[in-house]
Amino acid sequence: MSLISGGLDSMLATKAVMEQGVHVEGINFFTGFCVEGHTHAIRKKDKAKPKRNNSLWVAEQLGIKLHIVDVIEEYKNVLINPQHGYGANLNPCLDCKVFMVQKAQQWIQENNFDFIITGEVMGQRPMSQRKDTMPVIARESGANERLLRPLCAKNLPETLPEKEGWVNREELYDFSGRTRKPQITLAEKYGFTDYAQPAGGCCFLTDKSYSNKLVDLWTARGKKEYELDDVMLLKVGRHIRPQPHFKMIVAREEGENNFLQGYKNIFRTMTTVSHPGPLVLIDGVLSEEDALLAAQITARYSQGREAEQVEVKMTQQGEEKQFWVKPLLSTKIPKEWHV
């Protein structure tokens, strides 16, 4: 069973084992934070790009089955209470890898598979792919000797598949470090010319801006909790928090506007009536004064930003209220309000 992220390393690791005549199937875990997911559908500027899911695409290139597993609920504990802490942002990379290998271990036991493959390379990532942390993953996941890392197996102690002769250790690799050259050479050998190489990995939690928004959400709520809708909304729009008790999510373009329409029944919304403008979701409770400020900010992001007065409509659960406001000058929106 191979953990398929959709990137090059897991593709190569899988192929290396398949080349030895082993039957391999793939597994992909959907945490909610995967870059592979929703955002393809949201922003209009992305619509020109192919909407392929790279893990499915990789599986198809390899000719293997792929099982996609929804781990959104279980993953909350990994993110909220990481035993090994966070990386540079809110990325609990080591706990995440332990969790995924543990889930894969459970899967192989239930489905009579013999071992787990990952595309890990020693030294490739600062947190989860280090010489000292790679044994931690094998141990804490419970996979132990059933975890094979074909791309750097020769740098690690022999695993069960090697000892049993299910795979030949001599035909595995000794990649290490952050260089991508050996992977690119191996990709050429296997004839892979098209593959995904996301710069920040495959997870939104490695992104500083995204992590800041998640911290802001937790701070505002006074607790570290989230739902899938929160995860999705943090990827969309301009997030502005003028007061600790309310935040505005301002669509930046048509694709985001359409996406946010789906939340109109859950959130209070604002839109400009006298001029074309974005849909704005408001998360939190508004006083009269807050509503006026939010309307001015909404007007600021409309095509009436230079106008003397802009009409703004606020809607909540079918009830509407209209305001005529002067758009707030951009200089009156402090940088700190932008989450």
Partner 1 sequence: MNKQFLDARRLLCPMPVIRVQDKIKTMIPGGQLEVVCTDPGVMQDIPAWCRINGHQILSASSDVGEFTINIIVGD
Interatomic CA distance for residues 50 and 43, integer angstroms:
13
38 makes contact with partner 1 (CB under 8 A): yes
Near partner 1 by CB under 8 A: residue from 50, 191, 222, 334: 50
DSSP sequence for 13-59:
HHHHHHTTT----EEEEE-S-BTTSTHHHH-GGGGGS----HHHHHH
233 makes contact with partner 1 (CB under 8 A): no
Smallest gap from Cβ 175 to partner 1, in A, equals: 27
Interacting span for partner 1 (CB under 8 A) from 8-16, 33-41, 99-107, 110-118? 33-41
Near partner 1 by CB under 8 A: residue from 5, 9, 57, 140: 57
Virtual torsion, Cα 83, 89, 94, 96, nearest 10 deg: 90
70 makes contact with partner 1 (CB under 8 A): yes
107 makes contact with partner 1 (CB under 8 A): no
Please report, as residue ranges, which positions from 251 to 270 form the binding site for partner 1 (by CB under 8 A).
262
Give me 3's structure tokens.
Answer: 């953990």
Near partner 1 by CB under 8 A: residue from 18, 22, 56, 292: 56
Distances (CA, A) of 220 to 117, 169, 230, 245: 41, 52, 13, 7
Query: At residue 41, what is the residue type?
Result: A
Near partner 1 by CB under 8 A: residue from 1, 8, 66, 294: 66
Near partner 1 by CB under 8 A: residue from 27, 93, 187, 232: 232
Residue 38 or 154: the one with the smaller Cβ distance to partner 1 is 38
52 makes contact with partner 1 (CB under 8 A): yes
Nearest one of 310, 305, 300 to 337, comparing CA atoms? 300
Interatomic CA distance for residues 322 and 295, integer angstroms:
9
Name the DSSP class of 223. Answer: S
Near partner 1 by CB under 8 A: residue from 22, 64, 307, 333: 64
- In 3-state terms, what secondary structure has residue 134? helix
215 makes contact with partner 1 (CB under 8 A): no
Smallest gap from Cβ 196 to partner 1, in A, equals: 14
In Å, how far from its chain's centre is CA 157?
Answer: 32
65 makes contact with partner 1 (CB under 8 A): yes
30 makes contact with partner 1 (CB under 8 A): yes
17 makes contact with partner 1 (CB under 8 A): no
Whether residue 246 contacts residue 284, with contact meaning beta carbons closer than 8 Å, is answered with yes
Residues that bind partner 1 (CB under 8 A): 28, 30, 34, 36-38, 40-42, 50-53, 55-57, 59-60, 63-70, 232, 262
